[in-house]
Amino acid sequence: MGMVSEKKSTISYVKWDRGANREFSEEVTVLRMDNGKITYAMGITEEGYLLHCYYGRAIGEDDISYLMRLSDHPFTPNGNNRDRLIFMDSRLFEFPCPGTGDYREPCLMVLDEDGMSTCDLRFKEYRTMKGKPQLRQKGVSCIPATYANASEAETLVVTMEDTHCDILVELTYTMFKDMPVITRSARVINRGYNDIRIQQFMSGCVEWDYSNFEMITLNGNWARERAISRVPLHSGKQSVDSRRGISSHQHNPFIALVDPHATEETGEAYGFNLVYSGNFLAQAEVSTSGYTRVVMGINPYDFSWLLRPEEDLTAPELVMVYSDAGIGAMSRTFHDLYRGHLIRGQWKDKMRPVLINNWEGTYFNFDEEKIYAIAESASKLGIEMLVLDDGWFGKRNYDDCSLGDWYVNEEKLKGGLKPLVDRINALGMKFGLWFEPEMVSPDSDLFRAHPDWAIQIIGRDMTQAREQYVLDYSNPEVRENVYGQIRAILDNANVEYIKWDMNRALSEVGSTTLPRKRQRELWHRYVLGVYEVMDRLTTDYPYLLLEGCSSGGARFDPGMLYFAPQIWASDDTDAIERLKIQHGTSICYPVSTMGAHVSDCPNHAIGRTTPFATRGDVAMVGTFGYELDVTRIPEADREAIPGQIEKFKKFNPLVRTGDQYRLGNLFEDDSFDAWMFVAKDKSEAVFTFVQILNRPSMPSRRILLRGLDPERTYRNEDTGEVRLGATWMTGGVIVGAFGDFASRTMHFTAV
């Protein structure tokens, strides 16, 4: 039997009506997906209601239609139409809609030609297929999503219809064969003769008949992204969202519902992550019945979409991960999924080059000789790529001009970019370049020529941020112009890496080219336009290593990872603050995606001074590189770089592909942090410990390792100690006291 199956059963119910006993029955079809790790099931009533049955740990092949509780008061509406309203507001629905009695959060809100918002979706048909189809929408070239071939996954598509509005909704579910993962998406199609307007369109809904959960979210601000928050659910709605046009520093498009007693190693966890880079809503709602409904998708705030006859709209993909072995197991599943089934391209499984970025080393104050001097010194230390950051284009000497003018500033780089790139290549180094392609400065040739290309509401003042505006990426002329400028640079010089930055949120969200009836589509069309340009870039230049960035980590989401295998995790490069940032990010995202650099001290963002070795150990839990002027740092730090690079290359294959175990948690205990990575075959592990502030007269610490094979013997290559994996995991390692902000690494190999 495949992962998707259909189960039918006829069930008898007893209904008491004015004291008389009357029996009735109806046929119930249960569609269920099983892979031996999880089960997902939904039931179809005779009237075509699609009810949620079950999602969680794999269960047996028994008939589970009873989980729909159709015998509960007010019974099924087929036999008791007088209480249909109560039925609608008390059942668990697979894709709930408003207007017929369900007063909880809906997935779909539609305005028909008469301005009415009621929607009543009923089951029409279903189909299954091997593998995973790409998400599609007419007129849209690329919608990022996970991928799988016929041997890796199976897909169920359930078609619902509302005959009054004359719409179809396709609900797509993909279950991965070897992982406790289901991905969800939805597509609405106008098959009628009249226009309709989509007011709300969520990617999916999951319901439980209980509410004893705690909700984990990743929140923050610039320079302190993705801090972990964990709070109990309460009656009513609790949510995180973005209304900024980007997934945001403030909230990540991720939530998890966990058992109140769940730890890294124990308890149930349900993780939800949206493959999207714009406005989102992730919400858990506890009803007065004590039921829980989770919905996630495009934020309905200020959103609507005109759907003309035969047009369609596709919701972003929702990734759902289940764990019955704690939060850590949930994270490792997300990591495996994204490394194997989201990230693409030539750099998907490769070690990234060790780079040096000049931003914190020079800011705007550089010329070609300064950049070459940094590259020359860096190449002698084993650094493999020089990335030239902001200030190389237009008349850019400060952040107040020239965004949009992507031609070389020859006052700084005489003769253009190619001579500099050729000189750096001759050192044996690759060359990378910073762009901010979604922005335009008021003081720029592009804006002077096309002021209407910026996002704006005609007649209103345009709000600046960082003295810049946002380009209207819903406009194909804008996309073509910007991409043409980027192509001209790439075709002129051997640029092998691009850092794609985006440094402000959207405001005065209006387009000079979209018609009036489509203005509220701009939020979503903007994101789709960015995806289109990124897709062209990575298709036309497949060798490029693309790194995402949004004033640090304001757009660290799966939508970006589909195009860029790594994202700058934060503008805060302080090693101690990065411990929290990288810990929180790892709840959902693998460390191979986290841009992380060793920077100079005192740190430019926070002013703290930490040991150079600790900065290296923390940056190795990421892509690894340097953010400094290597010609000006202390000699002892410069001499340490070759050793750091050697250490990175030794352990990166394990860190990049292995299983991560978080052994410390600064959000709960701010005295230390610790983590380890274990090879998939359990043959080796690397453990890192970071002391925060030391205290006098304190004993050594005993840290329990995780993930080893309990029956294999492991040698601590740093101390020579040899013990069973079970001993290392139950007895632990002893870490003595040492200085403030100091770190220590241990390597364990099976013998």
Residues annotated as catalytic (active site), given as ranges: 501, 571
Contact (CB, 8 A) for 172 and 146 = no
User: Which strands make up the sheet holding 684-691, listed edge to edge?
Assistant: 659-662, 672-678, 684-691, 743-750, 713-716, 722-724
Q: Which residue has the tokens 């005295």?
A: 671
Element (H, E) at 91: none
The amino acid at residue 317 is E
Nearest alpha carbon to residue 441 among 454, 457, 459: 454
Cα 582 from Cα 618, distance rounded (Å): 9
Phi, psi of 448 (to 5 degrees): -65, -35
Instruction: Please give the DSSP secondary-structure letter assigned to residue 569.
Output: -
Match 């972003």 to its residue by tokens: 316
Backbone φ and ψ for 359, nearest 5 degrees, come out as -55, -60
Gap between the terminal Cα atoms of the chain: 41
What DSSP string describes 695-736? -TT-PPEEE---S--TTSEEEETTT--EEEHHHHHHT-EEE-
50-57, strands of its sheet edge to edge: 4-17, 20-34, 38-44, 50-57
Residue 398 phi/psi, 5-degree rounding, is -155, 175
For residues 387 and 545, give the distance between their C-alpha atoms in angstroms, rounded to a whole number. 12
Report the C-alpha gap between 95 and 108 in whole angstroms.
8
Phi-psi group of 653: left, alpha or beta (phi > 0 → left; psi -120 to 50 → alpha; rest → beta): alpha
> Peptide bond preceding 144: is omega within 30 degrees of 0, i.e. cis?
no
Q: Which two tokens stand for residue 371?
A: 């950049």
Q: What is the DSSP letter of 324?
A: S
Contacts with 669 (C-beta within 8 Å, 6 or more apart), sequence order: none
Q: Are 404 and 445 in contact (CB under 8 A)?
A: yes
Q: What is the CA radius of gyration of the chain?
A: 27
Q: What token pair was written down for 472?
A: 């209207």
Cα–Cα distance measured from residue 289 to residue 521, given in angstroms and rounded to the nearest whole number: 36
Strand 236-241 relative to strand 167-176, pairing? unpaired
| Selection from 38, 45, 36 nearest residue 10 by Cα | 45
Between CA 59 and CA 36 the distance in angstroms is 8
Assess contact for 675 and 694: CB atoms under 8 A. Answer: no
Judged by phi (left if over 0) then psi (alpha if -120 to 50, else beta), residue 741 lies in left
Task: Catalogue the E-assigned strands of 233-381.
Answer: 236-241, 251-258, 269-275, 280-286, 292-298, 305-307, 312-314, 317-323, 355-357
> Among all chains, which residue has been given the structure tokens 């930055």?
501
Q: Which amino acid, residue 696? A: P
Instruction: State how far the Cα of 606 lies from the Cα of 617, in Å rounded to an integer.
Output: 19
**DSSP string across 337-349:** HHHHHT--STTTT
User: Quick one: which of 96, 72, 185 has its CA closest to 135?
Assistant: 185
Distance CA 179, CA 403 (A): 44
Q: In Å, how far are 26, 226, 486, 526, 585 from 582, measured between CA atoms?
A: 53, 8, 31, 29, 5
